[in-house]
Amino acid sequence: MSRKRPADRFDRLVATATRVFIESGGFARTQIDDVARALGVAKGTVYLYVESKEALFDLALRHADQSAPLAEPSDLPVKTPVPGATRELVQARIREHGRFPTLTAALKVETPADVAQEVHAVLTEIYDTLYEGRVRIKLIATAARDVPDLAEAWFTQGRRRLNRRLARWIELRVKSGAFAPQPDATAAARMVSETLTWFAVHRHFEAAPEALDDAAARQTALLGVTRMLLGAGA
């Protein structure tokens, strides 16, 4: 009599693969053997669910940060995505989560009625967006080291675009006197984005993470960046 497959194995496979891709340092450095070992199954068992490492990586990207259990597809193994499909997925996710409408609106205003309120709204929107997508962001950023298509999407369409928009915002507010003077708007923008990204995303994936309360981490990051922009008295 054949053994019935565990109902949650597909969900656990995708979650485990996501973690292993991140911890191993990206797509090229991760092997199916690594995922199988972490899941506690034979390598051949993984191939019952996915046709290739590319298929598993695509699944990890598609379902990262998903809170609901992942149902097993009726058609297994999951096929290798067609060339370009994973890149298009990443580009779509970056466009979807990189709009930052509050920042966009702020860039259209020469002098805000309440600069402190504007700063809080802009920074909170960025932080919360990063936090909600922290697993996918970390996975993309890690894989971008050795996947040129992902590097182009992440560094150009994602991070660099946000930094340039932040730099324009900082320049506008420094010029109007709403922000404290900054040595360089580009460097200040990088300081803002890197601080928010570390607290919202990267701290969760350290080899020996410190036990930081999420609410306290968020408040600390927002307060520190706000004081940098508005001055120590903010």
Provide CATH 1.10.10.60 ranges for the chain.
9-63
Residues counted in the chain: 234
106 to each of 73, 122, 192, how far by Cα in Å? 44, 8, 16
Predicted confidence (pLDDT) at residue 169 exceeds the cutoff of 60: yes
Please report the pLDDT score of residue 3 as a whole number. 64
Provide CATH 1.10.357.10 ranges for the chain.
85-230
**What's the CATH class of domain 85-230?**
mainly alpha
- Report the alpha-carbon distance of residue 87 to residue 66 in Å, rounded: 19
CATH 1.10.10.60 for domain 9-63, yes or no, is yes
- 0.85 exceeded by pTM: yes
- Report the alpha-carbon distance of residue 164 to residue 83 in Å, rounded: 30
How confident is the model over 107-133, as pLDDT tens digits?
999 999 999 999 999 999 999 999 999
- Res. 1 pLDDT band, cuts 50 70 90: very low
